[in-house]
Amino acid sequence: MSSINNSPIDEISLKKLTDLKNDKAISIVEKYISLCKPAKITVITDSEEDINYVKNRSLEIGEEIALKNGHTVHYDGYHDQARDKKNTRVLLPEGKFLENHINTVDRDAGLDEMHQILEGIMQGKEMFIRFFCLGPTKSKFSISALQITDSAYVAHSEDILYRQGYEQFKNLNGSDDFFYLVHSAGKLDENKNSVDIDNRRIYIDLEENRVYSVNNQYAGNSLGLKKLCLRLAINKANKEGWLTEHMFISGVPSLDEKRKTYFLGAYPSACGKTSTAMIPGHTIVGDDITYIKLDDNNKPHAVNIENGIFGIIKDVNPEDDPLIYKVLTTPREMIYSNVLINDGKAYWQGMNAEVPDHGRNHSGEWKKGNVDSNGKEIPISHGNARYTIRLRDLENVDPEVQNPDGVEFRAILYGGRDSDTAVPVAESLYWAHGVMNGASIESETTAATLGKEGVRKNQPMANLDFVVVPLASYLYSHLKLGEKIGEEQIKIFTTNYFLRDENNSFFDDKVDKKVWLKWAEGRVHNEFDAIETPIGFIPRYEDLKDIFKKVFDKEYKFDRYEKEFAVRIDKFIDKLNRVEQFFKGSPNLPEGFTRELQLQRDRLLNTKDKYGKSIIKPSEFI
Which residue in 411, 552, 428 sits closest to 494, CA to CA? 428
Give 20-42 as a 3 state SS string.
CCCHHHHHHHHHHHHHHCCCEEE
Quick one: 112 exposed, middle or buried, by C-beta within 10 A (0-12, 13-18, 19+)?
Answer: exposed
* Backbone φ and ψ of 391, nearest 5°: -60, -35
Candidate list 36, 133, 229, 271, residue with the active-site label? 271
Number of Cβ within a 10 Å radius of residue 383: 17
Which residue in 501, 496, 495 sits closest to 559, CA to CA? 501
| Residue 474 Ramachandran class (φ > 0 left, ψ -120 to 50 alpha, else beta) | alpha
Q: Is 133 a catalytic residue?
A: no
How, if at all, do strands 71-74 and 65-66 pair?
A: antiparallel
* Backbone φ and ψ of 109, nearest 5°: -65, -40
- In angstroms, what CA-CA distances link 203 with 24, 211, 212? 20, 6, 5
The set of residues, in sequence order, having a beta carbon less than 8 Å from that of 602 and lying 6+ positions away, is: none
Report the distance separating Cα 272 and Cα 279, nearest Å: 11
Report the distance separating Cα 524 and Cα 533, nearest Å: 18
Report the distance separating Cα 360 and Cα 143, nearest Å: 39
The full DSSP string for 47-86 is -HHHHHHHHHHHHHTTSSEE-GGGEEEE---TT-SS--ST
Q: Is 546 helix (H, G, I), strand (E, B) or coil?
A: helix
| Residue 239 Ramachandran class (φ > 0 left, ψ -120 to 50 alpha, else beta) | alpha
Sign of the Cα torsion 94, 149, 32, 134 reads negative
The full DSSP string for 227-278 is IIHHHHHHHHHHHHT-EEES-EEEEEE-TTSS-EEEEEEE--TTSSHHHHHT
2 residue type, one letter: S
Q: Please work out, in degrees rounded to the nearest 5, the angle formed at the alpha carbon of residue 441 by the alpha carbons of 435 and 443.
A: 170
Residue numbers annotated as active site = 271
